[in-house]
Amino acid sequence: MQLDQFISPESTLTGVDGGSKKRLFETISRCASDLHPEIDSETTYDALLERERLGSTGLGEGIALPHCRLDNCHQIIGMLLQLKQPIDFDAIDGQFVDLVFVLLVPQEAVDEHLQALKAIAELCANQEYRASLRSAKSNADLFVAATTTSPQAEGI
């Protein structure tokens, strides 16, 4: 599974205002609905919030991976946001988050959901990969940094 199968240049954004987890989820939901009109903004927001109540999706190292499954979703939809200011995400290492990968997944796509989560988590464990995402100055640069295959990204 390649990252560019579910993350597009249009869904890769730099300079995003986070503010708080809830505000960020509102932004994510609105953007997802704008890019994919079949996705209801309110339903997405509620699903992301509900998933986050089960436990923080803050991976550590300044990365969060909010994700949820949706009924009206027909393919994996990914987003990558580089935040203007880091926000508290209750991450396991206590670090504030400045990079947010988002996965919206069809309700029945359990295996694909797990594969995508694993792939992103493995990429984000690489310090050079995280640094390249953080150094991106534009949406296009961020997309290229996220999807350029490196030895650590092979086989995603």
Chain segment 41-62, per-residue pLDDT in tens: 999 999 999 999 999 999 999 9
Q: Do the beta carbons of residue 35 and residue 10 sit within 8 Å?
A: yes
Identify the band that residue 1 occupies on the pLDDT scale cut at 50, 70 and 90.
low
Q: In whole angstroms, what is the distance from residue 94 CA to residue 116 CA?
A: 24
Q: Is 121 helix (H, G, I), strand (E, B) or coil?
A: helix
Residue 125 has pLDDT above 60, yes or no: yes
The percent of residues in the chain predicted with pLDDT above 70, rounded, is 94
Per-residue pLDDT tens digits for 27-36: 999 999 999 9
The amino acid at 137: K
Residue from 36, 67, 74, 113 carrying the catalytic annotation: 67
> Reduced to 3 states, what is the DSSP secondary structure of residue 56?
coil
Burial of 55 per CB tally in 10 Å (0-12, 13-18, 19+): exposed
- What is the rounded average pLDDT for all residues in the chain? 89
What is the rounded distance in angstroms from the CA atom of residue 20 to the CA atom of residue 2?
30
Annotated catalytic, 67? Answer: yes
Window from 102-106, 122-126, 138-142 with minimum mean pLDDT: 122-126
Every domain of the chain and the residues it spans: 3-153
CA distance linking residue 141 with residue 59, whole number of Å: 23
Could you confirm whether domain 3-153 is CATH 3.90.420.10?
A: no
Distances (CA, A) of 21 to 2, 118, 124, 141: 27, 22, 20, 25
